[in-house]
Amino acid sequence: MNSNNKEPYRRTFPISWEQLQRDARALSWRLMELGPWQGIIAITRGGLVPAAIIARELDIRIVDTVCIASYAGRQQGRIQILKPATGDGEGWLLVDDLVDTGKTARLVREMVPKAHFATIYAKPAGRPLVDTFMTEVSQDTWILFPWDSEIQFAQPIAGRTKQEKQP
């Protein structure tokens, strides 16, 4: 990665709603064998959709949240706890969409140290902090979730400038 570049992401990995559901269901298969679970704690906002899918697949009816703000656009900023988790997490499944740098994961792990932490996607810096994940992606990849994107016209590659053509 170019140290002069403030943007830490060189690649974009777009995820469709269908892909997210497939990946969340596949993660559910892994988690099924590790339960039973008392409930799910979703890390908001990114963990809400995966937690809903996993709750359905594992027939879990109790879903709580820990509310944390850590991103402003594509930049990770100061982490703000908006609603903490309660208890130590014993018997609970902690769900997020992604573990990136591990900053949020460390904070939540301190709140509920006995919870089983599962994410759909994991990057190398944060991967050691989760117990179960589905797919690993490189640290310099921005995962473009379906709730953060919209369908629009894309310029053909041949019509792009040299800078736009780079991944």
Of 105, 157, 161, nearest to 133 by C-alpha is: 105
Q: If you average pLDDT over every residue of the chain, what do you get?
A: 89
Q: Give catalytic status of residue 97 as yes or no.
A: yes
Q: Is 100 considered catalytic here?
A: yes
Res. 163 pLDDT band, cuts 50 70 90: low
- Better-scored residue on pLDDT, 110 or 69: 110
3-state secondary structure (DSSP) of residue 43: strand
User: What's the whole-number mean pLDDT along residues 117-136?
Assistant: 97
pTM metric for this prediction: 0.82
pLDDT of residue 4: 47
Question: Quick check: is 131 catalytic?
Answer: no
Does domain 15-136 sit in CATH 3.20.20.60?
no
Residue of 23, 59, 100, 148 marked catalytic:
100
Among 59, 64, 96, 140, which one carries the catalytic annotation? 96
pLDDT over 60 (residue 167): no
One-letter amino acid at 16 equals S
C-alpha to C-alpha distance for 71 and 155, rounded to whole angstroms = 28
Cβ count near 94 (within 10 Å): 27
